[in-house]
């Protein structure tokens, strides 16, 4: 066994951390307050060349392995949770299906500029009546001659208010349930495509999230990504990565919150000494460290399993659950260390506390994950 990162991984991490520390982290609080898509930062960060990490060199990407890209996502989440969401949709789910199934022409037109940050991507699953349960998808795609006609409303779409194109899950066979779902590429300048306003959010506020309405939007036949009816199978191929990425974001948010609380505990005095000298305060850091180490080790093991092409649905779900629960506990403890000041918008803990809530929906809600894991265990 060998639990070490390679020298290349370590070097890559230092570079990514430096970029995030320089370009994103100092602006995190301001971005959260402003609650708008940070276009300037987007352009600045895009120029650093990370958006193509998972894509082929032919389109300007770096073809990085899963472990390398997860190192990047972990570092990115240290900067700003909202920017992390906007950028990871661009890098993973928003461009994955286009990269895998798009025609060369479509990739030249959309993927290459997305890698440069010139075009913004979105991924559309969720609708008002279907979130966890994709079988409830009502957006339809109907074949008419050489075109598909899409109609429906997608909700909660990260980058929705600013996206230049979206990958949309729609049903091509409403009677077939999950087996009737297919992916389509839809450009925002097509007639009938409408972007909704950004909705107000509790956390991850540097990303713009909103509705996308498709009112009889016509796309050419080659905008169907993959085979009709195979959408859910394809989702399964990328979900493990999304879960590891979300889990590593949890580790980073927790790290930031607890590192900040550590400094506060060292300087804040009560009853004649720094509060860091009280055992009950020290215990919070001890528990956090143990749980963070456990979650992070499992997450990187899953990333390694993905690179090794091993079956790891269960491990990915478990790792995402463990990391998120660890993070929710850590951000709560950080606000307790700040006590009254933890309730003030002038201090950092409230931002981590709010941001951490997004982890509960990304990559599967915890009820859905636990239900699956429990059933798998009972079936053995």
Q: Binding ligand FAD by CB under 6 A: which of 123, 162, 185, 330?
A: 123
Per-residue DSSP letter, 6: P
Q: Is 89 in the site for ligand FAD (CB under 6 A)?
A: yes
Q: Which is nearer to ligand FAD, 158 or 291 (CB)?
A: 158
Q: Which is nearer to ligand FAD, 41 or 93 (CB)?
A: 93
Q: Binding ligand FAD by CB under 6 A: which of 209, 241, 291, 333?
A: 209
Q: Is 132 in the site for ligand FAD (CB under 6 A)?
A: yes
Among residues 115, 74, 214, the alpha carbon closest in space to that of 157 is found at 214
Choose one: 69-77, 118-126, 277-285, 314-322; the region binding ligand FAD (CB under 6 A): 118-126
Q: Is 113 in the site for ligand FAD (CB under 6 A)?
A: no
Q: Binding ligand FAD by CB under 6 A: which of 215, 227, 263, 371?
A: 371
Distance separating alpha carbons of residues 123 and 154, to the nearest angstrom:
10
Q: Taking the mean position of all CA atoms in its chain, how far away is CA 315?
A: 18
Distance separating alpha carbons of residues 253 and 16, to the nearest angstrom:
16
Q: How far, in Å, are 85, 258, 289, 334 from residue 274 at the CA level?
A: 37, 16, 20, 16
Among positions 169-208, residues that touch ligand FAD (CB under 6 A) are: 204
The least CB distance from residue 31 to ligand FAD, in Å, is 15
- The tokens for 28 are 């995190």
Q: Which is nearer to ligand FAD, 13 or 357 (CB)?
A: 357
Q: Is 20 in the site for ligand FAD (CB under 6 A)?
A: no
Q: Which is nearer to ligand FAD, 122 or 323 (CB)?
A: 122
Q: Is 124 in the site for ligand FAD (CB under 6 A)?
A: yes
Cα angle at 378 between 377 and 380, to 5 degrees? Answer: 70
Distance separating alpha carbons of residues 273 and 285, to the nearest angstrom:
18
Per-residue DSSP letter, 207: S
Q: Is 250 in the site for ligand FAD (CB under 6 A)?
A: no
Phi/psi of residue 251, nearest 5 degrees: -60, -40
Distance separating alpha carbons of residues 115 and 60, to the nearest angstrom:
7
Residues in the chain: 380
Choose one: 190-198, 257-265, 286-294, 362-370; the region binding ligand FAD (CB under 6 A): 362-370
Distance separating alpha carbons of residues 129 and 29, to the nearest angstrom:
34
Q: Binding ligand FAD by CB under 6 A: which of 125, 184, 264, 304?
A: 125
Contact present, 77 and 253 (Cβ < 8 Å) = yes
Choose one: 22-30, 36-44, 60-68, 360-368; the region binding ligand FAD (CB under 6 A): 360-368
Among residues 121, 124, 362, the alpha carbon closest in space to that of 244 is found at 362
Q: Binding ligand FAD by CB under 6 A: which of 56, 113, 131, 226?
A: 131
Residue nearest to ligand FAD (CB): 131
Q: Is 304 in the site for ligand FAD (CB under 6 A)?
A: no
Among residues 302, 294, 238, the alpha carbon closest in space to that of 88 is found at 238
Among positions 27-66, residues that touch ligand FAD (CB under 6 A) are: none
Q: Is 241 in the site for ligand FAD (CB under 6 A)?
A: no
C-alpha distance across the termini of the chain, in Å? 27
Binding interface with ligand FAD (CB under 6 A): 89, 123-126, 131-133, 156-158, 204, 209, 358, 361, 365, 367-368, 371
């Amino acid at each position: 066994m060998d639990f070490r990162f390679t020298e290349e991984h370590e070097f890559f991490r230092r570079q990514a951390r430096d970029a995030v520390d320089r370009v994103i982290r100092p602006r995190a609080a301001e971005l959260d307050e402003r609650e708008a898509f940070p276009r300037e930062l987007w352009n600045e960060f895009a120029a650093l060349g990370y958006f193509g990490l998972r894509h082929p060199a032919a389109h300007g990407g770096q073809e990085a392995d899963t472990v390398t890209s997860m190192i990047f996502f972990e570092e990115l989440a240290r900067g700003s949770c909202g920017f992390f969401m906007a950028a990871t949709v661009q890098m993973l789910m928003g461009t994955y299906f286009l990269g895998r199934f798009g025609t060369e022409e479509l990739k030249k037109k959309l993927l290459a500029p997305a890698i440069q940050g010139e075009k913004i991507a979105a991924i559309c699953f969720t609708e008002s009546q279907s979130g966890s349960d994709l079988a409830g998808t009502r957006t339809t795609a109907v074949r008419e001659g050489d075109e598909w006609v899409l109609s429906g409303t997608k909700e909660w779409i990260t980058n929705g208010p600013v996206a230049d194109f979206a990958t949309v899950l729609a049903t091509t066979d409403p009677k077939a349930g999950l087996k009737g779902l297919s992916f389509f590429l839809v450009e925002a300048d097509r007639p009938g495509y409408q972007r909704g306003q950004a909705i107000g959010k509790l956390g991850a506020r540097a990303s713009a999230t909103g509705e996308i309405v498709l009112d009889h939007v016509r796309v050419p036949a080659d905008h169907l990504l993959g085979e009709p009816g195979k959408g859910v199978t394809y989702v399964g191929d990328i979900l493990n990565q999304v879960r590891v990425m979300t889990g590593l974001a949890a580790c980073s948010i927790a790290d930031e919150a607890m590192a900040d609380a550590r400094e506060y505990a060292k300087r804040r005095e009560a009853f004649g000494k720094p509060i860091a000298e009280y055992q009950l305060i020290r215990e919070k850091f001890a528990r956090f460290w143990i749980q963070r180490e456990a979650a992070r080790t499992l997450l990187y093991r899953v990333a390694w399993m993905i690179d090794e092409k091993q079956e790891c649905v269960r491990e990915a779900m478990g790792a995402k659950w463990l990391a998120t629960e660890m993070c929710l506990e850590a951000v709560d403890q950080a606000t307790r260390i700040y006590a009254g000041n933890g309730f003030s918008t002038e201090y950092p803990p409230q931002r981590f506390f709010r941001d951490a809530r997004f982890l509960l929906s990304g990559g599967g809600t915890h009820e859905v994950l636990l239900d699956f894991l429990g059933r798998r265990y009972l079936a053995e």
